[in-house]
Amino acid sequence: MGIRPEDVTIVAGPRAAAATASARLDLVESLGNETFIYTSAGKHDVTARVSPQSLPPIGSKIFLGFDLEKAHFFDAVSGERIG
């Protein structure tokens, strides 16, 4: 599965969106009108582009929400996009 950073959000908890995952906050990159957060969710690295906001300290557990309408799915063997 692939999803663009702008289609990943920070949510209040595991059931705050249709598709969520818990993650560790690894890095915050504030760029004025937007913030990139870099997280680890299990063995996956996930980047989100969010509006500037107060965030917990690095290393904290957060929850991410995914807009699956904008997700892209790929064949595990060929790497080709499905659908």
62 touches 13 (CB < 8 A): no
Average of per-residue pLDDT across 24-36: 97
Q: Which of 9, 50, 57 is nearest to 31 (CA)?
A: 50
Q: Which CATH number do you get for residue 65?
A: 2.40.50.140
Q: Please provide the size of the chain in residues.
A: 83
Please tell me the pTM assigned to this model.
0.88
- The parent domain of residue 17 ranges over 5-82
Q: Which of 63, 58, 34 is nearest to 46 (CA)?
A: 63
Domain count, the chain: 1
- pLDDT digit string (tens) for 67-76? 999 999 999 9
55 touches 46 (CB < 8 A): no
